[in-house]
Structure formats: structure tokens, C-alpha cells
Amino acid sequence: MAFALKPEQPIRRRLKDVVRQQLCLAETSLGDDRTAGVHEARKSVKKVRALVALLQEADAGALGKDARRLRAVGHAIAPLRDADAAISTFDRLRAHFPKRLPEHTHAMLRRRLVRAMTRALSEARADRTLARAAHALHTVRRSAKGWRIPAIDAHELPNLLKASYRAGRKAMGRAHDRMTPADLHQWRKRVKTLWYHLRLAEPLAPGLRSDVRRLDQLETRLGEDHNLSMLQVALTKDDDLARRVPGALRELSAMSTAVQAKLRQKTFALGKRLFADRPKAFARRLRRAISGNAPATARKTRHRKAA
């Protein structure tokens, strides 16, 4: 199921179709009752939230309640994602610094992370977190049938996406000035939203392909940074570990900080290239890309009508 607009289909109808497809996928994935299913569901929920933000920018009506439902679902299943990501991040950190921690210490720390993941999943099953989240998504999917979405022309997209670009650019400035995990994570969320928006628009403007690819790289790097911060939180909040292996926790923190320092240098270098334009210049560039593809789009549409 392609997460993209179609040149031959009205934007308003296509957006509603994609929303319902992604909600169906998320609901089904939560029924898997495993971390892999949760991961897929979170991706779909984030895509829908990005679409809701775009529709709200286009003055679509009565989306507030569903936007809150989607946000609540994301928050409800986030602990499962964080617990799972902590294990894979710990393994990558170990591979990066194979000699910094004794083998028995590494094994003990990893067991704690696996135990935390198992406990989070058991608690989610016990209090029916995933079932309630799936029900909320089903409610949003039914509600989406009645969303009042205005007609959107392809040439209106640059102004709509300009807001997403501006938010990402501002978030980068705050992250650079403050360099806190919270600000970097906020930047990541804005980057991901813009990435989804440009992925949607790419069929109407193939010249965006490079931007889409680099935004994917940027979001991945910011995600790695966030995972390293979450790993430190997951281990340092364990009072028993703090008493038994305080030195190992300090060493782990030093390892994470070293990786983050190099990662952030590359991340901000890439971010400054991607967000070099002012929002108005970005919108003009996007408008030119859409206009440059308009003749081919029009020919394709006429051909389909004639057929």
C-alpha cells in the first residue's frame, strides 16, 4: 500500500484513502500482540498523525477529537517501543566498543533490558493496552469517513507543506542552541512529519526524491541519538544496578556520549543543508517541482480518461 498521492486521483480523496488504509494496518498490527506488531502500528499511527496535521493546515473541520485519540494511542504503546529499542541500541553500542565492558557485566545489563521488555509486554497484555489502542484506531477509522476535507489542488501543496518545513527548521534551531535530548527529539518528530509530507507529494514532484532520501537519513540519525538517551535512562533508573555496578553505568554513559557527539556533528551538518532555504524559498522550489511535472501528469490523466 503506497503512502503517496496519485496524479490521476483527487488529493482530497487520496488522503482519506491513505488515512483509512494506514489505520486498518495499525489496528491489524496491534492484534499481532508482539513487539514487531507494535512497531508497525506506531509507524502507521505516525503517518496518520502527519496527514491529520496536513489536513488541519488545509482547514479540514472537526479533526481535533481524532487527533487526540491518535496521540493517546501513540503514548500508550510508546513504552513497548522504548523497551525494545533499548535492547537493540545496547547491542549496537557493545559492537562499537567491544572491550569497554567485561563480558559478565554486559550479559547482566542485557538481561535487565530483556526482562524490562518482557515485563512491559506482560503489563500491556494484562491491562489490555493493545486491545484498547486497537479499538481507538477503529473508532478513528470509522470517524474518518465523515471528515470534512476541502478540495486541495496540487498547486496549493507548497503553501500547506511550508508550515511543516518551517516547524522543522525552527526545531533544528532550538535543538542546536540547547542540545538537550528533549529538543533533539522534538526536532526528530518535526523531521519525520516533513518526511512523510514530502513522500506523499513526491509522485507530483519527482524532483523531491533527493530531499526525501536525505530527510530519511536525518530522521534515522536523530532516532539513533534518541535511542542512546533512552538507553541511559532505562539503565540509570534501576536502583539495584546503581548500587551493584555504578562503574559500569558510568562507562556506558561515556560510551553513549562519545557516539552521540560524533552523531550530532553529522546530524547538524545534514540538517543545515536540508533546511538552508527559508520557508518561502522552500515553497517556491516545491512549486517549481510540481509545475515542472504538470504536463506529464496532465497527459497521464487525459490518457486514463480516454481509455
Residue 298: predicted pLDDT:
44
State residue 300's pLDDT score.
44
- Res 294: pLDDT: 61
156 vs 180: CA distance, rounded Å: 36
For the chain of 307 residues, list the mean pLDDT of each consecutive stretch of 10. Answer: 88 94 95 82 96 93 92 94 94 94 94 93 90 96 93 93 97 97 97 97 92 97 97 90 93 96 97 97 94 57 38
Query: For residue 33, what pLDDT is reported?
Result: 64
Cβ–Cβ under 8 Å, residues 7 and 300: yes
Cα separation of 32 and 68, whole Å? 24
**DSSP states along 129-177:** HHHHHHHHHHHHHHHHTT-B-----GGGHHHHHHHHHHHHHHHHHHHHH
**Phi, psi (deg, nearest 5) at residue 4:** -165, 155
Helix axes 157-178, 35-57, angle to 10 degrees: 120
C-alpha torsion sign, points 93, 96, 98, 100: negative
Q: Would you say 133 and 77 are in contact if contact means Cβ atoms under 8 Å apart?
A: yes
pLDDT at 303: 40
Q: What is the pLDDT of residue 302?
A: 40
Residue 187 neighbours by CB distance under 10 Å:
28
Among 158, 125, 150, 129, which Cα is nearest to 56's?
150
86 burial class (0-12, 13-18, 19+ CB within 10 angstroms)? buried
Q: Phi and psi of 212, rounded to 5°?
A: -60, -45
Could you give the CA distance from residue 18 to residue 13 in angstroms, rounded to a whole number?
A: 9
